[in-house]
Structure 1
Amino acid sequence: MIPSSITDNIAKVQHRVGLSAKKCDRENDRILVLAVSKTRSAEEVREAFDCGLDHFGENYLQEALSKIESLAELPLNWHFIGPIQSNKTRPIAEHFQWVHSVERAKIARRLNDQRPAHLPPLNVCIQVNTSAEPSKSGALPGDVEALAQEIAQMPHLVLRGLMSIPAASDNEAAQRSAFGQLRSCFESLQPCHPSLDTLSMGMSGDMEAAVAEGSTILRIGTAIFGPRNG
């Protein structure tokens, strides 16, 4: 069987998002498809850009920096969505427009201090461990408000919202329940944090449930590029 092209896959994803938005009376243009391009080549990113996508998510820093350099002539927005080690914050602060995986104040402070002065503030999301599983990354729900307050005082960061990676499930009710927890946390923060406008949740297998629960950024990899290379 001939695999679907990136062009065809993007059209299918946009159709799915459009149908999901219509079902819950949401505006389609308020939902961003973030193409997760980890393990993908610069050529594949370029093809996705030619199809209209300009936001790309990366997990692995060295691989991402190589692609950012290779595609520097394109007006791309780069999102770092993976775990952040303290010794990796400087290049992230220097080369990305968004970071979705801030889970502790130390990392936020380093990103703030290392953000170049000539660049606009770095857009950040707090990653939340909604299931409170010890093996999962993210701030615990009870710690999110304090972390948000700290980030709000950092001049080179803008707190845009929350991100989560819930346990994988094929059950839509379970998917919506997990996303609903993040949305509730988001809504509790909004009165004190007017810059909050972003819920980064939903991937290839659960984007419909995420849209129904208010996602504004869908992190889509497999449904765009096919099965991962690694």
Structure 2
Amino acid sequence: MSADRRAEVAAGLDAVRRRIAAACADSGRDPDEVTLVVVTKFFPASDVRILADLGVTDVGENRHQEAEAKAAECRDLGLTWHFIGGLQSNKAAAVASYADVVESVDRSKLLAGLARGAHQRSHPVDCLIQVSLDPPDAGAGRNGAPVEDLPDLAADLASRDLLRLRGLMAVAPLDADPGEAFDRLAAIRRELLVDHPAATWLSAGMSGDLEAAITRGATHVRIGRAVLGERPRIK
């Protein structure tokens, strides 16, 4: 473990924790209500060990192959692993075999595989429905279930053994005001809670917009660059 790298990660982590605390203070919230998920995509397992040593409990990965290998290498750390990337149905069971939280459930086609993986592991998987905040005329955008599909998808997910509907995840649309996007997300969340009052998690906010997300009720923020620096280039 490089002392220089540890110092670099510690400084980034401290800055982000201060931002979270300030955003919570501005909105009258307790910082303990917000879980920091550090996104380690493309960063080595040695960085995950530094994070764990600095008190991070939750890490996120976007790509199955990398996530699977890193989770296995760092199994001794007792971390909570979040899968936050777009998920293919033929990889769902494999992802559920190591991920404690799957944040990117955006269609019912994924649920059978996720349930199968959870049963093979005999371990419940916490699931968030990724909802699209892109306008209807945006064309190809980020992943996410259309808002009109949310009631049926939530009901289907909630009915599956060993899959637990925890809440929602979303990404602010590119070139949009994140405050306006997260205002809309908060309204969608209120509607979901009517039928699923236990689905209280809200994963929203990244390095550039975590404050806007926290002031609108985010319980989880997904931070990569602001903690770990610019991602390494893919070889």
- Name the CA distance, whole Å, in 2 between partners of 1:139 and 1:69: 30
Aligned pair partner of 2:167 in 161, 164, 179? 161
Amino acid at match of 1:139: A
Superposed, which structure 2 residues align to 1:134-213 within 5 Å? 134-136=139-141, 137-169=143-175, 174-213=177-216
Q: Aligned-pair RMSD on alpha carbons?
A: 1.6
- What's the CA shift for 1:101? 0.4
For the residue of structure 1 that corresponds to 2:59, the secondary structure is: strand
Identity %: 34
Following superposition of structure 1 onto structure 2, how do residues 81-120 of structure 1 map, counting pairs within 5 Å? 81-116=84-119, 119-120=122-123
2:53 is matched with which residue? 50
Q: TM-score, normalised by structure 1?
A: 0.94
- Kindly indicate whether the alpha-carbon contact (under 8 Å) linking 1:158 and 1:195 is maintained by their aligned counterparts in 2: no
Shift of 1:117: 5.1
Q: Which amino acid aligns with 1:153?
A: S
CA contact (8 A) 1:125 1:162 kept: yes
Alignment of 1:7-86 (within 5 A): 7-86=10-89
User: What CA deviation, in whole Å up to 9, does each residue of 1:3-29 have, x standing for no partner?
Assistant: 970011101100010001000101100
The one-letter code sitting in structure 2 at the alignment partner of 1:210 is A
What is the TM-score when the length of structure 2 is the normalising length?
0.92
Letter in 2 for 1:73: D
Q: What residue ranges of structure 2 are gaps of 5+ in the alignment?
A: none
> Which shifted more, 189-198 or 207-216?
189-198
- 1:134 deviates by 3.4
| Deviation (angstroms), 1:119 | 3.1
Gaps of 5+ in 1: none
- Per-residue CA shift, 1:79-120, capped at 9, x if unaligned? 000011122112111111000000000102221133135533
Runs of 4+ residues deviating >2 angstroms = 116-120
Q: Which moved more, 1:118-127 or 1:100-109?
A: 118-127
- CA distance in 1: counterparts of 2:40 and 2:24, whole angstroms: 24
